[in-house]
Amino acid sequence: MAWRSSGTSNAELVENMVRNGLIKEPEVKEAFLKVDRAHYAPSFPYDDSPQPIGHAATISAPHMHATAVEHLLPFVLPTDDRPAPRVLDIGSGSGYLTHVLAELAGSRAVVVGVEHIAALRDLGEKNMNKSDRGKELLREGRVRFRVGDGRKGWVEPGEEDKKWDAIHVGAAAAELHQGLLDQLKSPGRMFIPVDDDDGGWGQHVWCIDKDEHGKVTRKKLFGVRYVPLTDPPGH
């Protein structure tokens, strides 16, 4: 039922994703209702389709964001064992998914969006500042936007010893980069599209789990079309 969830308002878009089975968990529905996609999409914000946001980047279709959140949810929600989740959003682009993840991760969490182009980092911050809630999350440091090479993950200054409970990658990696695996906590989960030729799709999303002992398992989910996780233009 992907691509069939467009609405005329944020609430209608979310309800259609629920009806089509793309949003399953009530916490996910609540988070998406809190974040108005009109603050992040340049036009037709409630269409269930990707849109260009400049610099050869896109904001993914809402159903793709919903799918990513549903898979990462167990490692994003705060628990007694994980009261302050740390979430990394690589290829944060418009900042939309970064904001949704922050709504789920709770008041003690840190969600960091990483972009390889400063203008896109700035775009995420600008879009979040369109709402009082977004301003609050930025002011409190619960959401932070950084410029860096997402293929290497991200180490937050002053927090060098801390890893990530959940990693979302919003661009297609040429491979499953070791730096990302190294920065994934045990236990932790990563949602990442990877280039491959299997089945003729060219790219597939993988769900990568690391258990409490550091053992890594990989599950191929579905074929996709993402912009590449690569160098900034001109490099």
Q: CA of 46: how far to CAs of 25, 38, 52, 63, 185, in Å?
A: 20, 7, 14, 11, 34
Query: Are the C-beta atoms of residues 226 and 171 closer than 8 Å to each other?
Result: yes
Catalytic residue among 5, 43, 60, 131: 60
Biggest alpha carbon–alpha carbon distance for the chain: 47
Closest CA to 37 of 19, 15, 56, 59: 59
Q: How far apart are alpha carbons 65 and 197 in whole angstroms?
A: 24
Please enumerate in sequence order all residues whose Cβ is within 8 A of that of 67, keeping only pairs 6 or more positions apart, or say none: 22
CA terminus-to-terminus distance, the chain: 39
Per DSSP, helices labelled H in the chain are 10-19, 26-34, 62-76, 96-105, 118-128, 132-139, 178-183
Residue 9 annotated among the catalytic residues of the structure: no
Query: Are the C-beta atoms of residues 124 and 157 closer than 8 Å to each other?
Result: no
Q: Which amino acid is at 45?
A: P
Q: How far apart are alpha carbons 218 and 16 in whole angstroms?
A: 30
- Which sequence positions are flagged as catalytic? 60
